[in-house]
Amino acid sequence: MIPSTFPPKEEIARLTARALLEIKAVHFNAETPFTLASGLPSPTYIDCRKLISYPRIRSTLMDFLAVTVMREAGMEAFDNIAGGETAGIPFAALVAERLALPMTYVRKKPKGYGRNARIEGAMTEGQRVLLVEDLTTDGGSKLSFVDAIRETGATCGHTAVIFYYGIFPDTEAKLGAHGVTLHHLCTWWDVLAEARAQAAFDEATLSEVESFLKAPRAWQEARKG
């Protein structure tokens, strides 16, 4: 079923943050920071992949993502839903089901044998493709997927994610310069607000997380190595 009536964006953000906290996908640790893929430290870590194991929450958030895209991009804006390897694949399938559209997925790199393809499934020239992922940090990884989609002759001007860090000011500008609009359900600021409302972590931890969110690069520079 194609969703049509849902809460306003602010309530969707709050409910998404609450769901992520409920399934313990949110991790805060100021004393022993996590190491990100970049090698830099962070007091925050989010695991959106856990959502696939919680059917009620998964279904609700996929409804939210589908209606967010329709509200912000249009109800007839897309012909194909593509998931980014690997985390975006299940969410792309679920969104495609809700929007009654074909689903494909994009590999991070050619598989190295057979057709040596990056696109799996049927994607054709002229199709308007929505790229679906679990999250975005600074938007950089999305650009490679978008380029692979465009190489087929299809267009890709939108990407939708469940979680957007929302703390790096150049992210949306970077995507915009590449002709891509970002749609998301919630950010770290929404999660921090809900974590405070629930007293999900002690105040010292929440204060340190807030310091990181306000100046992430400075926080990382002070603690790297």
Q: What value does the mean pLDDT take over residues 11-31?
A: 96
- Burial class, 37, CB count within 10 angstroms (exposed 0-12 / middle 13-18 / buried 19+): exposed
60 is a domain residue: yes
48 is a domain residue: yes
Round the CA-based radius of gyration of the chain to a whole number and report it.
Answer: 18
187 is a domain residue: yes
Domain count, the chain: 1
Provide the token pair at 179: 């002709």
2 is a domain residue: no
Q: What is the pLDDT of residue 223?
A: 85
147 is a domain residue: yes
- Burial class, 50, CB count within 10 angstroms (exposed 0-12 / middle 13-18 / buried 19+): middle
Name the residue range of residue 216's domain.
Answer: 9-223
Question: Whole-structure pTM over 0.85, yes or no?
Answer: yes
Q: What is the pLDDT of residue 214?
A: 96
43 is a domain residue: yes
Between β-strands 41-42 and 44-46, what pairing exists: parallel, antiparallel or unpaired?
unpaired
18 is a domain residue: yes
Q: Answer whether 141's CB lies under 8 Å from 150's CB.
A: no
Whether omega before 16 lies within 30 degrees of 0, making that bond cis, reads: no
196 is a domain residue: yes
Q: Is the pLDDT of residue 81 over 70?
A: yes
Q: Answer whether 51's CB lies under 8 Å from 13's CB.
A: no
Q: What is the pLDDT of residue 161?
A: 98
CATH number of the domain encompassing residue 178: 3.40.50.2020
